[in-house]
C-alpha cells in the first residue's frame, strides 16, 4: 500500500457520465434509450387485463350481488376448479378489485367497494347483451329473472328498480334530477329508511333497461327493508331477486305501484 503523506489525496475511480440531449448529465442509468418523465396517466391496462378473462368477469358479476362468497362457491358458479379460481381471484385482488376476509376456516371474497361496483355497472352498459335480445323476443325477463329484479351491489336494479325510481318521481318524492325532495325525506322517515350524506339518492343508469334506477344510502336501505320484510328473496347464487306477493303489496302500499 503506497504511503499517503500530508497533503496527499487518494484517487477515486471516475464516475462515467452519460450524456443526454444537448449534453446534459442525466446521472447514472439515465442515458439515451431510457424512459423519459414519469407517466402520471392512470394505468387502465391493469384493470382491463384483470376483467378481460371471461371466468374472472363471471366472478365479478357474481360479486356484484353485494354478498361475499368462498373460492369454492365462485369456482362452481364459473364452471372451473377451485385451484383455477384461486389463481383468478389472486389476479383480481392484485388489481384492487376484490378483497378477501378469513372467517373461521373459510376465506370469503367480495368486491373492494362501491367504486368497483360502479365501474362494473358502467362496463355492463357498454358490453354486448345477448340475453337482452332473448328478453325482447319474450323468452326471458319474467319475475324471478335478473332482468326483472336484481341486486346492483346494494340497491335494486332491473325493471323493478326502474319502476321504483319512476314511482318516486311521480309521487314527488324525488325530482326530475333524481334528488330527494322534502316530501321524500318525510316519506323515508315514515318508512324507517336511512337518509344520510349529502346525496342520499342519485340516478344509476340501468344496463338492461337503459333507464335510471336509484342508488345511494336511501336506495340501499330500501333494498334491505325489502329483504328483511321478505318482499324480495335472493337466489342461492346470482343477482336475481324474486318478488313475493308480500312484496307486491308492500311496494304497492309504499309507492302506489301496480303489478
pLDDT digits 0-9 by tens, 5-43: 444 444 545 555 454 445 444 444 444 445 556 667 778
Share of the chain above pLDDT 90, in %: 56
In the structure, what pLDDT confidence band is assigned to residue 162 with cuts at 50, 70 and 90? very high
* Same domain as 246, residue 145: yes
**Is 224 found in the same domain as 147?**
yes
Q: Does the residue 249 lie in any domain?
A: yes
Choice among 121-125, 133-137, 156-160, 222-226 with the minimum mean pLDDT: 133-137
Q: Do 239 and 177 lie in a common domain?
A: yes
Name the helix (H) or strand (E) containing 249: helix 245-255
pLDDT at 129 over 90: no
pLDDT confidence tier of residue 146, bands split at 50, 70 and 90? confident
Backbone φ and ψ for 149, nearest 5 degrees, come out as -150, 135
Say which residue, 198 or 116, is predicted with more confidence: 116
pLDDT in the model for residue 130: 57
**Same-domain status, 240 and 150:** yes
Judge whether 163 lies within some domain: yes
In angstroms, the Cα distances linking 164 to 168, 169, 254 are 6, 9, 10
Q: Is residue 180 part of a domain?
A: yes
If asked whether residues 104 and 151 sit together in one domain, one would say: no
Tell me, yes or no, whether 118 lies in a domain.
Answer: no
Rounded CA gap, 211 and 162, in Å? Answer: 7
**Predicted confidence band at 217 (pLDDT cuts at 50, 70, 90)?**
very high
* Shared-domain flag, residues 52 and 106: yes
Q: How far apart are CA 21 and CA 4, in angstroms?
A: 41
- Range with lowest mean pLDDT among 65-69, 124-128, 224-228, 245-249: 124-128
Half-sphere exposure of 239 (CA within 13 A, CB side): 24
Q: How far apart are alpha carbons 166 and 236 in whole angstroms?
A: 29
User: Quick check: helix, strand or coil at residue 205?
Assistant: strand
Instruction: Tell me, yes or no, whether 11 lies in a domain.
Output: no
pLDDT in tens, 71-112: 999 999 999 999 999 999 999 999 999 999 998 889 999 999
Indicate whether 9 belongs to any domain: no
| Angular region, 121: left φ>0, alpha ψ -120 to 50, beta rest | alpha
Q: Which domain holds residue 95?
A: 46-111
**Single residue among 111, 128, 156 that ends a domain in this structure:** 111
pLDDT at 28: 47
Mean predicted confidence (pLDDT) in 210-228: 94
Residues 145 and 102 in one domain: no
162 and 248 housed in the same domain: yes
Q: Has residue 178 been placed in a domain?
A: yes
User: How far is Cα 106 from Cα 198, in angstroms, rounded to an integer?
Assistant: 37
Q: Which residues contact 54 (CB under 8 A, 6 or more apart)?
A: none
Lowest mean pLDDT among 82-91, 163-172, 190-199: 190-199
Mean pLDDT across the chain, nearest whole number?
83
Number of domains in the chain: 2
Looking at 84-93, 131-140, 177-186, which range is the least confident one? 131-140
One domain, residues 145 and 251: yes
- Given this model, what pLDDT does residue 247 score? 97
Lowest mean pLDDT among 27-31, 185-189, 250-254: 27-31
248 and 158 inside one domain? yes
232 and 185 belong to one structural domain: yes
Whether residue 247 is found in the same domain as residue 147: yes
Please check the confidence at residue 245 and state whether its pLDDT lies above 50.
yes
Is the pLDDT score of 234 beyond 70? yes
Any idea what the CATH number is for the domain that residue 73 is in? 1.10.10.10
217-243: average pLDDT:
94
Instruction: Compare 258 and 35 and report the one with higher pLDDT.
Output: 258
At residue 142, the pLDDT reads: 55
DSSP 111: E
In a domain, 72, yes or no: yes
Amino acid at each position: 500500500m503506497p504511503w499517503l503523506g500530508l497533503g496527499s489525496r487518494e484517487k477515486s475511480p471516475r464516475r462515467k457520465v452519460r450524456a443526454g440531449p444537448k449534453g446534459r448529465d442525466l446521472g447514472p442509468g439515465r442515458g439515451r434509450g431510457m424512459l423519459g418523465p414519469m407517466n402520471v396517466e392512470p394505468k387502465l391496462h391493469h384493470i382491463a387485463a384483470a376483467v378481460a378473462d371471461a371466468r374472472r368477469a363471471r366472478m365479478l358479476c357474481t360479486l356484484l350481488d353485494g354478498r361475499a362468497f368462498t373460492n369454492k362457491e365462485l369456482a362452481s358458479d364459473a364452471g372451473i376448479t377451485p385451484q383455477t379460481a384461486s389463481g383468478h381471484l389472486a389476479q383480481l385482488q392484485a388489481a384492487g378489485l376484490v378483497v378477501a376476509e378469513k372467517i373461521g376456516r373459510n376465506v370469503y371474497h367480495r368486491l373492494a367497494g362501491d367504486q368497483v361496483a360502479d365501474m362494473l355497472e358502467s362496463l355492463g352498459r357498454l358490453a354486448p347483451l345477448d340475453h337482452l335480445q332473448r328478453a325482447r323476443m319474450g323468452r326471458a325477463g319474467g319475475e324471478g329473472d335478473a332482468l326483472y329484479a336484481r341486486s346492483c351491489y346494494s340497491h335494486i336494479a332491473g325493471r323493478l328498480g326502474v319502476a321504483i325510481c319512476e314511482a318516486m318521481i311521480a309521487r314527488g318524492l324525488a325530482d326530475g334530477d333524481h334528488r330527494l325532495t322534502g316530501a321524500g325525506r318525510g316519506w323515508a322517515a315514515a318508512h324507517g329508511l336511512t337518509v344520510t350524506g349529502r346525496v342520499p339518492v342519485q340516478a344509476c343508469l340501468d344496463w338492461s333497461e337503459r333507464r335510471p334506477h336509484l342508488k345511494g344510502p336511501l336506495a340501499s336501505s330500501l333494498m334491505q327493508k325489502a329483504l328483511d320484510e321478505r318482499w324480495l328473496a335472493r337466489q342461492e347464487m346470482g343477482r336475481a331477486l324474486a318478488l313475493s306477493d308480500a312484496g307486491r303489496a308492500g311496494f304497492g302500499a309504499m309507492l302506489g305501484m301496480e303489478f
